[in-house]
Chain A
């Protein structure tokens, strides 16, 4: 099973320029752990001091806000497209 993870441009400085990657994570906590393994610099950016996902990041699964799907308890389905988007994204730096 694999999901496709899509990142905003603001994050690619932490991923060697990659905007997408595949993950075998089963749920959101699994994905965050996976990001911690593969892109430690990105993990630092998207997590707050308590190790939780920053509240300014929204996670979408196939166009739906993950909070409408059960949040952390949502079990990723094979082929899900998971997008991370800052709540007011936009602009390049």
Chain B
């Protein structure tokens, strides 16, 4: 980018800066979240930090950004020891963090978000002219083509992610912490974001990039520090690293599963969708789902996959077409009606639509099956105990007690509660919307095992996912959705990720 940068002065005195943590340790009751870690991060590079959930990477981020304090160890920035009592202090000392959950206010515009809490003032009132001109300069200097007056809700996820990073960079930080910035993005959006991160990298900032999407690292990271069970395992230069090497470092030795060959196959149609259309979302979608089958739906974000599932489940309306469940045509479906017909749907967004975060694991495992667990409106405690214990046991949900709030669980355990809630309804068809979103690799494998197990029990599933590798790993047959239409269908045994990716992009790159 040829635009003059507000960060140019940092480039001029190009002394490489270094962030170093020494013997950093954080204990929580019962666990050591980070165990004596000594790691060094250099500027001008994207330093990836990877590890499965519970490996200590979030703890590391929180320690560096001043959210929590270490029990032992020190943090140095250019040989100056850092010690913060709160995140604002860390921010003031040049450590900026962009969290997984975006912190932008959707109803405000880009400029207001960037200068939130420090809008330029003149005589005690906000100087809007300066706000927009400054924000405009800032966006330009970072090569971001977004109007400072655009409302954030009108932006796509990757654009919001960029605004978030521009906001962080406007503080002229020395260290930029990116916590899973791609978790909500589709593959093409990730590419845009990466281009942007590469530009940021040139500003001589120390970038820490937290992720559990391995394949991304080769595209974006220069080197990669691996954590496992709170311990620092080692560091690799990405250009020399192999996937196998990284996986070994992350997991010791966990195998990647190939498609099992004992899945239920049948030619009995349990769900038939005919010319289903919702204007602006998807049109003329037709397909059949067989008994025991796991059918994948691949497509980029915005191709209408989630919307299709929601309309089939009765959560959203549709304009025309028919839905036939086990030979019954369904008129005006609602989630209640579909559930009673044996259809389940696990929501992608566990926080806002999948779970009642304020309530306990026990309650959340029963919300979809209350009719089965009650008699004449009164809860049957024994049936409830059985249903709850069964799912906790079979899905290996790790919790200290049934009464803990689901909000206190990790993503993987929350996802298991979502699935358990629906398995308690004894469904014949389960619609999985992004079942692996925001959960670690091991929990992902467990969720896939659960899906295969359902197939063996002749329960049919539809899986929507942004992760093409996952679809190939889990589903024997995959439909490809592009701009609201089903354009192709593949058998996963004779398709590669690259081929599938190409098809999802409409056949052209």
Q: Do A and B come from one complex?
A: no
Chain B residues engaging chain A, CB cutoff 8 angstroms = none
Chain A residues engaging chain B, CB cutoff 8 angstroms = none
